[in-house]
Amino acid sequence: MAEARIMLIRHGETEWNREGRIQGYNADSRLTAGGRAQAQRLAERLAGEALLLLYSSDAGRARQTAAPVAAALGMNVVYDPALRERNYGDFEGRTYGELEREHLEAYRKFRSRDPDYAPPGGESGARFRDRVLAALERIAATAGSGHAAVVTHGGVLGVMHRHVNGAAPDSKRGYSLHNASINRLVYSAGCWSIEAWGDVSHLAAGSGDGIQGA
């Protein structure tokens, strides 16, 4: 029975992570100096991994993180827009404080974690979940019994942690979303399991853990 091992990696710290701004599907922010250092340490950590495939979201912050990993492994990166963060529509580029002050009703709906709520111009949590699961199942099928690494976003990690553990969409987050973290999953017989979560042992001073994870 094929047993694919998928390593999910959150991108390194960005300028907007530091500012508490929502990134998302369309908006982007470059890695900070610390984020670039995280990506380099990640690459050094993964240099000895026997990877069959290397995937990445095509967002700039994920590309910046994947580049040194690809160089260390001598691999090409498959860029996939289906691995992008959730589309937060008009909320992208804003802080939570700005949303609360300027769009109180929409902010309250958003913070309720209702899976069917979509921010103006954005994507519902349920639709985002379905996109992520389809993309990662496709990658697992391609990997077969091999190992693949996927550089992606905090929201994608959150979808998978909740899915594997059967957590309700509106439950409070009880897991880490560290920048440049390694999160190991296994896909076998149509089911996901978690081998390890939130590994940042390669980062000398730990890593950021943004709430919305973009």
54 within 8 A of 70, measured Cβ to Cβ:
yes
163 belongs to the catalytic site: no
For residue 104, give the 3-state DSSP assignment.
helix
Which pairs with CB-CB distance under 8 Å and at least 24 residues apart come from 47-52? 47/72, 47/73, 49/7, 49/73, 49/147, 49/149, 50/147, 51/7, 51/75, 51/146, 51/147, 51/148, 51/149, 52/143, 52/144, 52/146, 52/147, 52/148
92 belongs to the catalytic site: no
User: What whole-number distance in Å separates Cα of residue 139 and Cα of residue 34?
Assistant: 30
- Phi-psi group of 180: left, alpha or beta (phi > 0 → left; psi -120 to 50 → alpha; rest → beta): left
Residue 95's DSSP bridge partners are 21
User: What whole-number distance in Å separates Cα of residue 153 and Cα of residue 27?
Assistant: 13
Q: Which among 13, 85, 92, 123 is annotated as catalytic? A: 85
> Which residues are marked as active site?
11, 85
